[in-house]
Amino acid sequence: MTDSRVHSFHIPVLGLAFSVDTPLRVARFGISSVISIVDDILIEHMRKHYARVYGVAYNPITVRDEDYRAKRITAYLNLLHHIVQKQIADLKASAFEKGSEIVKYFEMLPEDSPIKSLYHCMVHATTQEKQSELQQELRSNIVAGDIDVNIMTKLDKVNFGRDEEKLPAEYSDAIASLRGFAESDVSASVILSAGLNSRLFSYLGQRKEFIPDEQGRFKKRVILKVTDFRSAFIQGKILAKKGIWISEFRIESGLNCGGHAFASDGYLLGPILEEFKTNRENLYQELSDLYKTALEEKSLPLPSVPLHFRISVQGGIGTAKEDQFLRKYYHVDGTGWGSPFLLVPEATNIDDATRDLLAHATREDFYISDASPLGVPFNNVHGSTSDLQIRKRFNDGKPGSRCTKKFLVSNTEFTTEPICTASSQYQELKIEQLKKQNLPPDVLEQKIAKVVAKACLCEDLAASGLINSNGHGPVKERAVAVCPGPNLAYFSKIASLEEMVGHIYGRIQLMTDPDRPNLFINELRLYVDYMKDEIQKRLETWNVKEQKYFNTFKMNLQDGINHYKSLIPNLLEESDRYRETMRKELLELERELTEIMIPAIALS
């Protein structure tokens, strides 16, 4: 199973719109990126937009078309693939001269890349003949970055036809998205995030596009995004039994990341990576045995070469030294850099006002919110136009949003059919219910505030894509939600693509705060604060289950602290001052953790 990657990092999925066209911006430079395929309405709009920009014929796919969701996704991915292939052809044909895209391609490569070494040889060649020979070899080594897609497995709404009859399971949101990817021309990966979905996994096992050829090459690959080893092991085994090989386990920090935050029972990134490092061979052997058995049961040929999987990590990485340490010490094969690219106009689709907000945001502006209708903690930043719109609607006596896309409908508290907790319908019903409960004024205010905090993520996470492509509706009515990781607080420069890539590889420094803590300390701080806040929130309904959960949570954090104490001497690329500062910060957080009191319930 060959790996053609020329960069050691990828750009993870960013909201709905922020990375929806990132492949068109960076793939020709060998950089892989991930787009969300949740919102087929946005995707169809972007296809229409880029068909016009690149002079490609556009035939609308409407809701009246059978399997329109899958067809929209397939058509958009095919368009991206077509454009990127044209970009690559143009880049290969361009001259090696200052400012050209082919020079930019090679200049951005990491210094330890064999192709970068070949490029330096070409630059310093002493004869025209040798230079031309090396240029030809360099052109043959140019590859595009992957056009990967992300599916949140829990977003799998059952759909209905025009006659209001429930459609078969294969037309559910997640399965239709997967089918759209599977039937596209791209050779890339689907990232499955947010956990196990038995219905989706079973459908995946039926798709032949994910079966390798005799040489172990995949047309379509599967990546599992996980927050701990146990979930990787369980999901990996389930899929292996269905004849699906996991090409990569993508480990993400539970809290020190963008988008939805999953606190993972207090498991910290360092210990999680250590567990993968220690058990990698055992994981491989077990999955390999299950996979071979599954192929034999399906009468499918086994590849003649051994299959492998990658391990990558993302969430909170901020410096080249941190990136290198993760790859060398924990033996990960790659890293993900997401939120910093929100400050790179060449790479992401984000409106100027929101990008400016992020550039000027301080540590205090980033917070974990209740904005997600899914009921999962959601990374947020104060001052977004989505946040301002929520407040205005509530103050005007019109809480909530019109629910038109319905991707996040899940609540049946007041209705037979699921509705969204960010909708006006739900919020008006919920507020009316709360007002009838004769609650103390301060308690009522708190509960109503939590209800109206929900944002219409379907619209607001897609809004920047519509603004930047002159989408439907007046621009002034478009409110933008943004979900950066808290690590973005340490970046403030609107950077070029070359500058950000240079920062990742240590060629330049974009961070402005010399006192930024190590990524492990930053994550631990988030977990300690999260634990304090969650205990306070749950005191009213405290029970034995909560007590047990937070005792385990606290124990796991302490295990993480102990791991980091032993890790500090291994940070050999850092200064003595850096290591001593990290040690002091670690001890201070350990003291804070020790002082957190978990209410005890006497067992009868």
Residue-wise pLDDT tens digits, 288-331 = 999 999 999 999 999 999 999 999 999 999 999 999 999 999 99
State residue 126's pLDDT score: 94
Res 448: pLDDT: 96
Q: CB-based burial of residue 516 (10 Å sphere; 0-12 exposed, 13-18 middle, 19+ buried)?
A: middle
Predicted structure pTM score:
0.96
CA 451 to chain centre: 26
- As a whole number, the mean pLDDT across the chain is 95
User: Distance (Å, rounded) from C-alpha 502 to C-alpha 110?
Assistant: 9
Within 10 angstroms of residue 166's Cβ, the number of other Cβ atoms is 10
Helix residue ranges, H only, 228-268: 229-241
Distance of alpha carbon 136 from its chain centroid, rounded?
Answer: 37
- Please give the biggest Cα pair distance in the chain: 88
The bridge status of strand 378-381 relative to strand 366-369 is: antiparallel
pLDDT reported for residue 163: 81
Look at residue 603 in the predicted model and tell me its pLDDT: 59
pLDDT of 585-602, one tens digit each? 999 999 999 999 999 986
| pLDDT band with cut points at 50, 70 and 90 for residue 263 | confident
Q: How far are the Cα atoms of 229, 523, 578 from residue 514, in angstroms, in the given order?
A: 33, 18, 10
| pLDDT(93) > 70 | yes
Residue 551 has pLDDT above 80, yes or no: yes
- pLDDT value of position 513: 84
Query: Span 490-515, mean pLDDT?
Result: 95
Quick one: pLDDT band at residue 468, thresholds 50, 70, 90? confident
- Mean pLDDT in residue range 223-236: 97
Please give the pLDDT value at position 602. 66
**Which range among 132-146, 533-547, 557-571 shows the weakest confidence by mean pLDDT?**
533-547
Query: In this structure, what token pair is assigned to residue 339?
Result: 């939120």
- pLDDT, residue 469, reads 82
Is the sign of the CA dihedral 524, 528, 533, 538 positive or negative?
positive
For the record, the structure tokens of 148 come out as: 């990967």
For 475-518, give the DSSP string.
GGG--------GGGGG------HHHHHHHHTTSS-----TTPPP
